[in-house]
Structure 1
């Protein structure tokens, strides 16, 4: 699977470790930054990643910041992007199953790395159920 990943300085360490985890699992991963732990403005990395998801250059995206809120708010400004803030595996699964989320947003300051890895694995492995949910998802874009 082609996966885009990015975020801000608070998510940098998780991003670096998740890239290795995903590549080891056989995924193609593109890093949208940041490239260091130096303070950055997350929209500078989120907008290019969200554009790549909206244009279907990548199948799924992962965004990581301190709370997960800033990256989610920014990504969801893009048409055809459905970014879900997830802090447990049930939310990660439901975001895919019911909302056809194409970006998972992680709060690095509120979940341990090992748990973040399980959130990503759940998100990547879970399929959209379609059916009654598809009608609702089709109404999301303005």
Structure 2
């Protein structure tokens, strides 16, 4: 199951992501926000991050205006490796090399068509389990 979260700036793009997930029958839990009314993104980053670290959800997707703030906030939670991606290559690479467990995107910088390609790449790309990547992830966690 995926954990979803966004702020008001990310709400329209999250609606597109949810439509895609529904079409693909991919289960998710939406932690909000649920409108374009102004909210503080750290709250939703924390909810999604805890959804992932608790094991309730396997991965997460976070969206704010740029993706920067919400990814910084999520990465404050131990065990989270949130990656801000604006292209398909980065989405694949962060899964293969970093075993990223949260995808962050910026609704004001990434259009819906590209965003859905990024989501697909993130969700379909497995971690490589290569010894060098495991070593580096361990160094990050230490």
Q: Aligning the two structures, in what range does the TM-score lie when normalised by the shorter sequence?
A: over 0.9
Query: Unaligned 5+ residue runs, structure 1?
Result: none
The aligned residue for residue 107 of structure 1 is 106
Pair 1:64 & 2:66 matched: no
List structure 1 segments (4+ residues) > 4 angstroms apart after TM superposition.
none
Deviation at 1:19, TM superposition (A): 1.1
Q: In the aligned structure 2, how far is the partner of 1:49 from the partner of 1:123?
A: 16
Deviation at 1:23, TM superposition (A): 2.1
TM-score under structure 2 length normalisation: 0.96
**Superposed CA RMSD:** 0.9
The aligned residue for residue 141 of structure 1 is 141
The aligned residue for residue 39 of structure 2 is 40
The aligned residue for residue 11 of structure 1 is 10
Farther-moved stretch of structure 1 (61-70 vs 51-60): 51-60
1:63-122: CA deviation from partner (whole Å, max 9, x where unpaired): 001110001000000111000000000000001000000001001111111100000000
Q: In the aligned structure 1, how far is the partner of 2:140 from the partner of 2:49?
A: 16
Pair 1:31 & 2:27 matched: no
- SS of 1:138's partner is helix
Pair 1:124 & 2:101 matched: no
Q: How many residues align?
A: 141
